[in-house]
């Protein structure tokens, strides 16, 4: 088994992991970034970058790349209920529709350009040690098992991974009753808008990404999904529940090789520093997708983790301070958004309260603006 040393080892090369790697490498840290898959790869995601992501991606040097890919510009959100109630509002800025297939790949390449040691097809299987004594990661790849010793470890491995069970994280003992599905389509255009069409126990987002393709992405309660028995049967049932979904899918053609799915999606509180790993992105906490803010939180949270890691590497704070201050800063920045997102999601899953709620926000526009503004960072634009 080979053993390597670095300042910071990052587990997971999604948005949070790649962006943390770029910030750290720019500060002169020796960074190893470990990603279980190869690039590019598809991810279950609505693929709408909320308005504040423009500033965050600019800070990572991706503005020119984004311009070349011509993402879809999105400034309006519409929510519908099965009974036909609907509500439409302007977003606080322009969101961008771009596939994760392209975006994660671009960020990983940017990290490699900054000198990050990017190891793909490498799964982290364990973490041991402490911040005081350094941490030791064990990894598995096609080349075999290997070990890495790092002064700081950042956990950016997403919503739910086998590693969470290995680390015995408390949230894995709570129920996680959601399934996510996504696929790309050729279909009726949705200029400048994201549509969220609800059905009993779930909602399906439709929005454009680059090249005029449409991303359909949905979240559904596990028991509702299982009742249908298969993905095609569930999709047919879902379209019967909301006439807007039936109308759109009737004119759309699947262009992905298949529907991508994930299960056990945890909308629960997580520990931000666990076994001395600084968790970030979805590994620290996942916001309900309807808020469209998970990617912004991943990018911003990565910056926060990188800043804290750097001050520890420079001996500006002790291990005890790092644990305490990072967790406190993360909670201060994201806790309200997470709670509000979960509350709104509970409404969206129930057609009758939702229909009433949509009438209410139509009658009281400031209420809708309150929810839109408080599920994101509106200062970052």
Ligand X SMILES: Cc1cc2nc3c(=O)[nH]c(=O)nc-3n(C[C@H](O)[C@H](O)[C@H](O)COP(=O)(O)OP(=O)(O)OC[C@H]3O[C@@H](n4cnc5c(N)ncnc54)[C@H](O)[C@@H]3O)c2cc1C
Residues that bind ligand X (CB under 6 A): 11-17, 34-37, 43-48, 50, 123-124, 156-158, 161, 163, 180, 217, 219, 265, 281-283, 286, 289, 292-296, 298
Provide the minimum distance between the beta carbon of 252 and ligand X in the complex, in angstroms, as a whole number. 18
Provide the minimum distance between the beta carbon of 280 and ligand X in the complex, in angstroms, as a whole number. 7
Provide the minimum distance between the beta carbon of 279 and ligand X in the complex, in angstroms, as a whole number. 9
Q: Please state, in angstroms and rounded to a whole number, the distance separating the CA atoms of residues 64 and 52.
A: 17
Provide the minimum distance between the beta carbon of 38 and ligand X in the complex, in angstroms, as a whole number. 10
Q: Residue 284 has what DSSP assignment? A: T
**253: Cβ–Cβ under 8 A, 6 or more apart, which residues?**
185, 186, 187
* Nearest of 321, 260, 1, 277 to residue 138 by alpha carbon: 1
Burial class (CB in 10 A: 0-12, 13-18, 19+), 325: middle
Provide the minimum distance between the beta carbon of 63 and ligand X in the complex, in angstroms, as a whole number. 18
Nearer to ligand X, 126 or 317 (CB): 126
Nearer to ligand X, 231 or 319 (CB): 231
Residues, the chain? 381
Cα angle: 224, vertex 230, 234; to 5 degrees: 50
Burial class (CB in 10 A: 0-12, 13-18, 19+), 183: buried
Nearer to ligand X, 87 or 157 (CB): 157
Nearer to ligand X, 34 or 102 (CB): 34
Provide the minimum distance between the beta carbon of 364 and ligand X in the complex, in angstroms, as a whole number. 26
Provide the minimum distance between the beta carbon of 88 and ligand X in the complex, in angstroms, as a whole number. 18
Q: Please state, in angstroms and rounded to a whole number, the distance separating the CA atoms of residues 45 and 78.
A: 18
Indicate the SS3 state at residue 219: strand
Nearer to ligand X, 1 or 363 (CB): 1
Q: Which alpha helices (H) appear in the chain, and where do they start and end?
A: 15-26, 53-59, 63-69, 100-113, 162-166, 222-228, 231-241, 243-250, 294-313, 319-348, 351-363, 365-374
Q: Which residues of 193-208 are buried (b: 16+ CB within 10 A; e: fewer)?
A: bbbbbbbbbbbbbbbb
Provide the minimum distance between the beta carbon of 100 and ligand X in the complex, in angstroms, as a whole number. 7
Nearer to ligand X, 241 or 345 (CB): 345
């Amino acid at each position: 088994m080979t053993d390597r040393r670095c300042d910071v080892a990052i587990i997971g090369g999604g948005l949070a992991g790649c962006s943390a790697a770029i910030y750290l490498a720019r500060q002169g840290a020796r960074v190893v970034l470990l990603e279980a898959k190869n690039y590019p790869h598809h991810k279950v995601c609505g693929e709408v970058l909320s308005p504040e992501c423009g500033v965050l991606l600019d800070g990572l040097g991706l503005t020119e790349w984004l311009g070349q890919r011509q993402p879809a510009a999105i400034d309006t959100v519409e929510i519908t209920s099965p009974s036909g109630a609907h509500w439409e509002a302007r977003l606080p800025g322009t969101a961008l529709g771009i596939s994760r297939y392209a975006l994660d790949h671009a960020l990983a390449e940017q990290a490699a350009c900054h000198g990050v040691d990017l190891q793909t097809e490498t799964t982290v299987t364990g973490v041991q040690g402490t911040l005081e004594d350094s941490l030791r990661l064990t990894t598995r790849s096609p080349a075999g098992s290997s070990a890495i010793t790092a002064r700081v470890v950042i956990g950016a491995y997403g919503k739910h991974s086998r590693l969470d069970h290995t680390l015995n994280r408390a949230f894995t003992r709570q129920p996680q009753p959601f399934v996510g599905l996504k696929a790309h389509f050729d279909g009726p255009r949705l200029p400048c808008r994201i549509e969220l069409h609800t059905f009993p126990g779930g909602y399906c987002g439709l929005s454009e990404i680059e090249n005029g393709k449409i991303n359909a992405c949905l979240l559904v309660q596990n028991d509702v999904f299982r009742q249908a028995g298969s993905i095609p049967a569930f999709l047919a049932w879902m379209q019967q529940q909301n006439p807007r979904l039936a109308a759109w899918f009737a004119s759309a053609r699947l262009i992905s090789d298949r529907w991508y799915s994930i299960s056990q999606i945890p909308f629960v509180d997580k520990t931000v520093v666990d076994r001395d790993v600084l968790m970030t992105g979805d590994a620290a906490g996942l916001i309900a997708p309807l808020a469209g803010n998970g990617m912004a939180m991943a990018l911003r949270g990565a910056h926060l983790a990188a800043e804290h890691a750097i001050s520890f590497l420079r001996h500006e704070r002790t291990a005890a301070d790092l644990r305490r201050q990072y967790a406190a800063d993360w909670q201060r920045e994201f806790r309200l958004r997470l709670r509000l997102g979960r509350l709104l999601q509970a409404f969206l899953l129930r057609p009758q309260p939702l229909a009433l709620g949509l009438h209410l926000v139509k009658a009281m526009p400031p209420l809708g603006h309150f929810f839109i503004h408080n599920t994101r960072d509106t200062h970052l634009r």
